[in-house]
Chains A and B, each alone.
Chain A
Amino acid sequence: MQPIIRQNAISLELPDLRNLGTILRIVLAVNAMTAVAALVSAPQLDLWTAQWLDMTAVVEPHLIAELAVLYALAPWLGRQSSTTGALVVAVITVGIGLGVHMLVARHVPQPPFAVLRHLLIALCAYATLLAYFGLRAKALSPAIAESRLQALQARIRPHFLFNSLNAVLSLIRSDPRQAETALLDLADLFRVLMRDNRELVPLADEIELCRQYLGLEKLRLSDRLSVEWHLNNMPGDALVPPLMLQPLLENAVYHGIEPSSAPGVVSINIFLKGGDVHAILRNPYQAEGGRHHAGNKMALANIRERLKLHFDAEGTLESRVRDAAYEVHIRIPYRTAKSTSARAPEPSTPSARRKPDRDTPAARSRLPAAAPALLDGRQGVPRG
């Protein structure tokens, strides 16, 4: 059971200690705190930098050693409850503090009780950082919750729904079986669109969803739409935010294929390179399409935001126009359900949200404040 206290108090949840963004934040914060401490303790302003240098001689070895230890322990820490995790890190901080102090004392004589002072300061810094990460996670979540309902409604582009229904209706008399498949695809798609999309899902699931979506578009647009998949080097078990690709493909069709009578290609290229998963989506660029591009920008901003929430600085999204093609390039760190340990499973709610056949508790991200359906906020754009 989830402790009630987590709802109200500041969360003691540890951040992802292997994330570049987290590490950078810690390094910057600790150094800033050192600078401030030096300013406070220096008797004169011109002695400030000297004081700072003296302090870094102790602070930096401690910081580097602790980050290394935490990096190594990150998967194990992730499996513990948040309170245990926080306590273990406090113990580690004290341990490393003692070690560094002993090393320094061997070369430079230290005043009495220096070790206690050192440890207290280190624990204060740790508490500050923990509070910061807790607050940060909290600050990011209400905005997400708020936009959820609105996002849900905006997400379902009415144009797509009604045109697809119209296409299915046209099949019922001539090809009932195809109509059946199409309706099932539509049902699957809407199931995903309407569920609570808080947790990361395997990339293979997202791809399946994209196939179903493109299948429906193909029904409407027939020869005008061709899809090229390059997935030979795709890690299907990589965890991605749900609906990371589908809204981009929807844009690709809406902006790249629909405005032209000539056939066009949407290509999806996903591969693993240097520990990162890359996804490159391309569609023909229609300069004279006359379509509103605000919707596209909003979708991009939205996905970018979700990548940031899940992966911090390690998830990026770039878009550009090259060789008469519009290209979106997503890069995220390669994480799987095994490498990202799941927190103690919460049996009741989450499994009910997911489709039974795809429910693997391990697939859930441990990001506490991870984005739910913060989907693209396209508003109704006038169209036929």
Chain B
Amino acid sequence: MADVPLRVLIVDDETPARRRLRELLSDCAGALPLACVGEAANGREALELLHAVSADLVLTDIEMPEMGGIEFARHVLKLPQPPVVIFTTAHDEHAVEAFEVNAVDFLVKPVRVQRLLAALEKVPRLRPVSATRLEALPSTARRFLSVTERSRVVLVPVEEILYLKAELKYITIRTAEREYLLEESLTKLEEEFGSRLVRVHRNCLVARDAIRGFERRAGGEGDAHWEVQLKGVPETLPVSRRQQSIVREIGRENRHRGEETTS
């Protein structure tokens, strides 16, 4: 075990911060066999990189453009052999507190070489942080949902989602191009993306921006119900009786928006 080098990936949007970590890793190399397998400037790049090289440990910054560290850590869990993730943070009482409460490993920047070495030595005994603990960390809504397809993590940008529909065990993500299968809870997704997605049915969340209109349709047993019409795709989605109020609410919003653009 001792002679297998520890493979480390560095993720930070600031070049000097990456250089500093690289220097510190080379300082540690004497005490512990390790190899820096790559660097990335944000979570998205790092995820892409992890399809090409494998790593045992990812040292990642938290706030980065395109994809932050916490979101990255959640997507990483979908890899067949997810690496351990340790966060690096400049300073923030709130974040640090949350990490401690949830027993998530982190290093405070500027990092001391002793602290880094201690963290590296722990890695073989660590297991990736669970999704539940990551969800408890303070973070903005994710920018992507991720699904595993043929052992690759595929990212679906949240703004491309037309609707999410719960079916038996999975949730179907529908974009203009295709469908994906996701294993998450619809309720939690509604909490996270409440400003973008609206519930039209017990099993369905629709992107507000994707709604083209509503139409009244007669049901099988004679009672009529509303159906959501969508931009870009032919299928329609039923609105449940409990969610009927949104028909008027969104209709009004759309009218307002129409008036704004015409005036």
Let me know if A384 and B68 touch, CB within 8 A: yes
Among A158, A161, A173, A259, point to the contact of B65 (Cβ < 8 A): A259
Stretch of A31-39, A136-144, A186-194, A218-226 contacting B (4+ beta carbons < 8 Å): A218-226
Among B23, B66, B95, point to the contact of A384 (Cβ < 8 A): B95
Task: Report A158-202 residues with CB < 8 Å from chain B CB.
Answer: 158-159, 161-163, 165-167, 169-171, 173-174
Let me know if A382 and B14 touch, CB within 8 A: no
Let me know if A260 and B65 touch, CB within 8 A: yes
- B17: interface (CB < 8 Å): yes
Among B17, B20, B92, B143, point to the contact of A159 (Cβ < 8 A): B92
Q: What is the CA–CA distance of A382 and B96 in the complex, to the nearest angstrom?
A: 9
When A159-B90, A382-B95, A384-B92 are in contact, do A166 and B65 touch as well, CB less than 8 Å? no
Per-residue A-contact encoding for B77-116, CB less than 8 Å = 1, 0 else? 0000000000111111111000000000000111000000
Query: B17's closest neighbor in chain A, by CB?
Result: A166
Report the interface size for chain B: residues with CB under 8 A from the other chain.
Answer: 34
Query: A171's closest neighbor in chain B, by CB?
Result: B16
- B62: interface (CB < 8 Å): yes
Query: A219's closest neighbor in chain B, by CB?
Result: B16
A84 to chain B, nearest CB (A): 52
Let me know if B138 and A162 touch, CB within 8 A: no
Let me know if A169 and B110 touch, CB within 8 A: yes
Query: A182's closest neighbor in chain B, by CB?
Result: B16
Per-residue A-contact encoding for B12-23, CB less than 8 Å = 1, 0 else? 011111011001
Number of A-B residue pairs, CB cutoff 8 Å, is: 81
Let me know if A162 and B94 touch, CB within 8 A: no
Residues of B within 8 A of A222 (CB): 15-16
Let me know if A382 and B138 touch, CB within 8 A: yes
- B41: interface (CB < 8 Å): yes
Q: What is the CA–CA distance of A384 and B90 in the complex, to the nearest angstrom?
A: 6
When A159-B92, A383-B92 are in contact, do A170 and B61 touch as well, CB less than 8 Å? no
Let me know if B91 and A159 touch, CB within 8 A: yes
Let me know if B17 and A258 touch, CB within 8 A: no
Task: Report B41-72 residues with CB < 8 Å from chain A CB.
Answer: 41-42, 61-66, 68-69
A349 to chain B, nearest CB (A): 34
Residues of B within 8 A of A221 (CB): 14
Q: What is the CA–CA distance of A258 and B42 in the complex, to the nearest angstrom?
A: 12
Query: B97's closest neighbor in chain A, by CB?
Result: A382
Query: B14's closest neighbor in chain A, by CB?
Result: A220
- B261: interface (CB < 8 Å): no
Q: What is the CA–CA distance of A169 and B41 in the complex, to the nearest angstrom?
A: 19
Let me know if A167 and B17 touch, CB within 8 A: yes
Residues of A within 8 A of B95 (CB): 382-384
- B263: interface (CB < 8 Å): no
Let me know if B16 and A384 touch, CB within 8 A: no
- A109: interface (CB < 8 Å): no
When A166-B20, A169-B20, A174-B19 are in contact, do A261 and B13 touch as well, CB less than 8 Å? yes
Q: What is the CA–CA distance of A258 and B68 in the complex, to the nearest angstrom?
A: 12
Residues of A within 8 A of B41 (CB): 261
B11 to chain A, nearest CB (A): 11
Query: B13's closest neighbor in chain A, by CB?
Result: A261
Let me know if B140 and A290 touch, CB within 8 A: yes
Q: What is the CA–CA distance of A166 and B110 in the complex, to the nearest angstrom?
A: 5
Q: What is the CA–CA distance of A137 and B65 in the complex, to the nearest angstrom?
A: 46
Q: What is the CA–CA distance of A174 and B16 in the complex, to the nearest angstrom?
A: 11
Q: What is the CA–CA distance of A170 and B93 in the complex, to the nearest angstrom?
A: 24
- A380: interface (CB < 8 Å): yes
B228 to chain A, nearest CB (A): 25
When A380-B92, A383-B92, A384-B87 are in contact, do A258 and B65 touch as well, CB less than 8 Å? yes
Query: B23's closest neighbor in chain A, by CB?
Result: A173
Residues of B within 8 A of A382 (CB): 92, 94-95, 138
Among B17, B42, B65, point to the contact of A163 (Cβ < 8 A): B17
Residues of B within 8 A of A158 (CB): 90-92
Query: B140's closest neighbor in chain A, by CB?
Result: A290
Task: Report A65-107 residues with CB < 8 Å from chain B CB.
Answer: none
Residues of B within 8 A of A169 (CB): 20, 110
Residues of A within 8 A of B91 (CB): 158-159, 161-162
Residues of B within 8 A of A384 (CB): 61-64, 68-69, 87-90, 92, 95
Q: What is the CA–CA distance of A174 and B89 in the complex, to the nearest angstrom?
A: 23
Q: What is the CA–CA distance of A166 and B91 in the complex, to the nearest angstrom?
A: 11
Let me know if B62 and A383 touch, CB within 8 A: yes
A194 to chain B, nearest CB (A): 18
Let me know if A163 and B66 touch, CB within 8 A: no
Let me know if A162 and B90 touch, CB within 8 A: yes
Query: B20's closest neighbor in chain A, by CB?
Result: A170
Return 26 A-B CB contacts under 8 Å, by A number: A158-B90, A159-B92, A161-B91, A162-B91, A162-B109, A162-B110, A163-B14, A166-B20, A169-B20, A169-B110, A170-B17, A170-B19, A170-B23, A219-B16, A220-B16, A222-B15, A260-B65, A261-B13, A290-B140, A290-B141, A380-B93, A383-B62, A384-B63, A384-B68, A384-B88, A384-B92
For the complex of A and B, 4 pairs with smallest distance between CB atoms: A384-B62, A170-B20, A384-B63, A170-B16
Beyond A163-B90, A166-B16: 19 further Cβ-contacts under 8 Å?
A162-B91, A162-B108, A162-B110, A163-B14, A165-B110, A166-B14, A166-B90, A170-B16, A170-B17, A170-B20, A170-B23, A173-B23, A222-B16, A261-B13, A261-B66, A290-B141, A380-B94, A384-B68, A384-B69
Chain B residues engaging chain A, CB cutoff 8 angstroms: 13-17, 19-20, 23, 41-42, 61-66, 68-69, 87-95, 108-110, 138, 140-141, 143
